[in-house]
Amino acid sequence: MGIYFDEIGNLFGKYSKNTEKEESVMVGSHIDSVKNGGRFDGVVGVMGALEVIRTIDKNNIALKHPIELVAFVEEEGTTFGSTLLGSKFFIDEIKDFSRYTDDDGVFILEKAEEFTIKKDYKKRGNTPIKAVLEMHVEQGNVLYSENITIGVVTNIAGVNWLSIVLKGQSNHAGSTPMHLRKDPFPTAGLIINEVEKIAKNCPFSDTLVGTAGSIKVTPNVTNVIPSEVEINVDVRDISQKGMDYLVTNLKEFAEKLIEDSEIELFIDVEETAPPIKLSDKIMNIISEKAEKRSFDFKHMHSGAVHDSSLLAKKYDVGMIFVPSIDGISHAPEEATEYEDIEKGANVLLDTVLELST
């Protein structure tokens, strides 16, 4: 296999023994991890792809299309503060690199150059892509709890991040009477409560999830009335309509809350990833292959974002999930039975062969 890289450090290995077509079938995932993460998230997809290529080579299977293994960098966003950087670069969506530096102030491109030049890799160039496949651990408890081995991913949930800032007036907690306070904290509490209420009671979507995941209180001192509270909310659904429902209703609720008070409200919505529908054609192939091998499978959506979310904007993409034991991920206890990984890799192999022969 020829080993290549691109400027941001994504690594590619191309297997093109006797292939006649130029378009490649891309298979892989990411190999970076969150801090204190596990050994399976991402790695299962890269090792699975490598095993698929080894198997094809060992058995001398003739291919029409080359198979391209990919290991994306910076999927988790741990080092440079932004998720999906490798795949974002790959689909040409990074316009300004200057914001991406690590804790030592080193730019992402410098870092990438350092390790790719050292290894003397060649540049990938612009080989066209026929389809993309990613095998990944589910990172949830659906497959494991239902005792099903293969998840055929239909959609990947989109993500919106909301920053809600409430401003009041800092003052002494002892000497300021209740009726003379501008305390934003109780209002923040009601908003947090409402996030859960709205997400639980959406009349048309049972895939909508909302999480108030962080809060910053200023000055955060027990005997001082806070001057400012910032809540950060994570909103996800497989349809934009569901995400909009939570965002709109929460905004209305918060605006109404502060209407007759002196608290100021600032809401900022940042779209981090759009909801994505994966390729029907590839979904059907994956299901067919799982069925042929008599593995239990089910169609399901992914609540977590993956490199595939971005790649699906440009290419035909399919994703295979394997069970996470007890649904645990992004923790040292993260694990998947090797037997399940083997089954997932076999479905990956069959799907790759269908697409490349």
* Nearest CB to Zn ion, comparing residues 42 and 226: 42
Q: Are 187 and 230 in contact (CB under 8 A)?
A: no
Pairing of strands 67-72, 129-137: unpaired
- In whole angstroms, the minimum distance from the beta carbon of 78 to Zn ion comes to 12
- In whole angstroms, the minimum distance from the beta carbon of 231 to Zn ion comes to 27
- In whole angstroms, the minimum distance from the beta carbon of 136 to Zn ion comes to 6
* Nearest CB to Zn ion, comparing residues 156 and 263: 156
* Nearest CB to Zn ion, comparing residues 84 and 148: 84
- In whole angstroms, the minimum distance from the beta carbon of 201 to Zn ion comes to 31
Q: Measure the CA–CA gap between 103 and 167, rounded to whole angstroms.
A: 31
Among candidate residues 88, 31, 8, 93, the one with its CA nearest the CA of residue 308: 88
- In whole angstroms, the minimum distance from the beta carbon of 38 to Zn ion comes to 10
* Nearest CB to Zn ion, comparing residues 46 and 286: 46
Q: Measure the CA–CA gap between 340 and 323, rounded to whole angstroms.
A: 7
State which H helix or E strand residue 211 sits in. Answer: strand 209-218
* Nearest CB to Zn ion, comparing residues 84 and 352: 84
Pairing of strands 150-156, 276-277: antiparallel
State how far Cα 284 lies from the chain centre: 23
> What are the residues binding Zn ion (CB under 5 A)?
41-42
Q: Measure the CA–CA gap between 239 and 228, rounded to whole angstroms.
A: 33
State which H helix or E strand residue 2 sits in. Answer: strand 2-5
